[in-house]
Structure 1
Amino acid sequence: MGATRDHIHSAKAPSRNRTDGDRIAHRNRTPHHRTPQIIAPQATMHNRAESAAPVGPAAAATADGKVTYRPLEAQDLPAIIDEYDQTWGFRPLSGRRPLSQMVSKRFVLHYLEGTTRAEVAELDGQVLGLTFAQINGEHPLYPHAQETLAGIDDRLRADETGSVALREVTYWHRAESRLERVSQIGSVTQAELRLFLVSPKARGHGVGGGLWSRLMAYFQKHGVKRYFLHTDNSCDVGFYDHQGLVCNAKRIAADHPEDHVETMYGRMNDLFIYSGEPSRTVRHRRHTDRTGNTQHAGQQPKRGD
């Protein structure tokens, strides 16, 4: 889902290992009021190595006000969910913060499902940004995310308003899944940028650019020739054009009057799929720096659902 925000951006999409319909069917079989399982990252060779030797330049200490980059930890999730809720929270639920937080938690866990690399940017002990990415063939960092999602869905279904929110959320994800299938983007890419989030408090610290360049370097190191992401018209899609990405597919809301089956979120946004080559993105940024055209270099891509 999208919202016009300068300080948060993401790329999101369904897991490639299961279809959206499979996941929904699985959740519907889950008993109601199931207690969500505690999420803990699964150690892999890649994220263990990255902890010891991060890809790209990482600041050494936060004591002197420098940003550090490190793998996501389970204790980071509450702050991330809160940041997500403040920016893209379910606006009709603003008076019911626990329910709004639950919907935001569902979104974050949806993007975390299937993620094989999750990195955060931290300043003075506070998480200011992150990237969730998935490389084909690698093991998910959070293998129990799907089970936790099932528990969240059960709790949302138990509330009348939460049920409406859940229907709209899953409708949005199904629309993205269809766009992904029609474009066949999965057949020409090896990775996906699932979530890219930067806090407004990060401005002036180069957090967005640092996270982006480090992810591109990671993709290159692990043999990714092309990656993709989802975004929408509430986002600054010009950021992706500036990074050298191309738009592979789009779904214009005006062409789909059937979208408006629910009224809580309102009109569906236009959806897009962008793809890029990590090596080309890095070269494009270097060329931009040499020409001195840095107007967009510091801008953050907005959320892409």
Structure 2
Amino acid sequence: MIMEEHGRMEHVEQGDAGIGVVYSPMIWSDVEAITRQFDETWGHYALLGDNQKLSLLLSYHFVLHYIEPATRGEIAHKNGQFMGVVLSRVSGQPVMFGNVAQEMAKIDERLNSIPAGRKALMDTELGFEIERRMERQTGINDKAPAEVELFLVSSASRGQGVGGQLWSRTMEYFERAHEPMFYLHTDSDCDVSFYDRHGMKRIAEREEQRHPDDGRDRGMAPTKMFIYAGVPAKVKQTVS
């Protein structure tokens, strides 16, 4: 069923598992809900001395980083509650929002004004640089000009098919754009088995703690960073 609400077109999923879940294009006002769910899922409290305000600011930086290159964003919600989001990018298509760089500069200024925030931001930017290095080493951008920037679902969405629906609809977007392959970054803090189950291949792996030259050896449990790649049509077939 297609309906229009709050000035945007929305699709209401009527299947047994996802009844009442609404799927709609992302708008700027969704950023707050995405940031709060990102912080709840991957908050940075250990790095920031359990400072919730700083963790939210850093999570906002992460979310803006993923939004900036995105050409499509889809939100799942139910009765006004955020259920999930997928941000994706197809090379050559226009980005969703043109104000992200300015907004990120404001957030970074606030983080840099506090020592703990400045240190966490430097570590975050180093992580993004390592991802870019992995991309260059694999040549993945030449092979796959499409990327899933962020895939995030809330704990409230479990058992309602939200993740599968968002995933399937993103594969359809890549197919409409005639993209033969796509990729994504993830790490061992996420459920990487989801990508294994859905027919994606791990094409790169790096353990952060084994690279002290990058400044990543912090005496913490090692985090493995991965690049996964897949063919949209084949991945879509794995979603029940």
> TM-score of the superposition, structure 2-length normalised?
0.88
> Gapped runs of 5+ residues in structure 2?
1-7
- Aligned partner of 2:4 in structure 1 is none
- Aligned partner of 2:196 in structure 1 is 241
- Aligned partner of 2:134 in structure 1 is 179
Superposed CA deviations along residues 39-69 of structure 1, whole A, max 9, x for unmatched, are xxxxxxxxxxxx5586xxx426xxx951010
More strand by share: 2
- Report how far residue 283 of structure 1 moved: 2.8
- Aligned partner of 1:215 in structure 2 is 170
- Report how far residue 236 of structure 1 moved: 2.2
Confirm or deny: 8 A CA contact 1:260 1:268 kept in the other structure. Answer: no
Which of 49, 65, 78 is matched with 2:32 structurally?
Answer: 78
Structure 1 residue 253 corresponds to structure 2 residue 189 = no
Distance 2:113 2:173 in 1: 41
Aligned length: 230
Superposed CA deviations along residues 74-113 of structure 1, whole A, max 9, x for unmatched, are 2211121111111211113364222111001000001001
The worse-fitting range, judged by mean Cα deviation, of 78-87 and 169-178 is 78-87
Structure 1 residue 139 corresponds to structure 2 residue 139 = no
Confirm or deny: 8 A CA contact 1:190 1:226 kept in the other structure. Answer: yes
Q: Which amino acid aligns with 1:109?
A: L
3-state DSSP of counterpart to 1:134: strand
Q: Which amino acid aligns with 1:270?
A: K
Distance 1:89 1:254 in 2: 20
Superposed CA deviations along residues 213-268 of structure 1, whole A, max 9, x for unmatched, are 111111111211100000112222222111111111111235313344574x9455
Q: Which amino acid aligns with 2:231?
A: E
Distance 1:128 1:259 in 2: 36
Higher relative contact order (CA 8 A, sep 6+): 1
- Aligned partner of 2:71 in structure 1 is 116
Distance 2:200 2:193 in 1: 10
In the TM superposition, 1:1-305 aligns within 5 A as 52=9, 58-59=12-13, 66-92=20-46, 93=48, 95-260=50-215, 263=218, 266-285=220-239
- Cα distance change, pair 267–149 in 1 and its aligned pair in 2 (3 A): farther
CA RMSD in angstroms comes to 2.2
3-state DSSP of counterpart to 2:73: strand
3-state DSSP of counterpart to 1:274: strand
- Report how far residue 123 of structure 1 moved: 0.4
Q: Percent identity?
A: 36
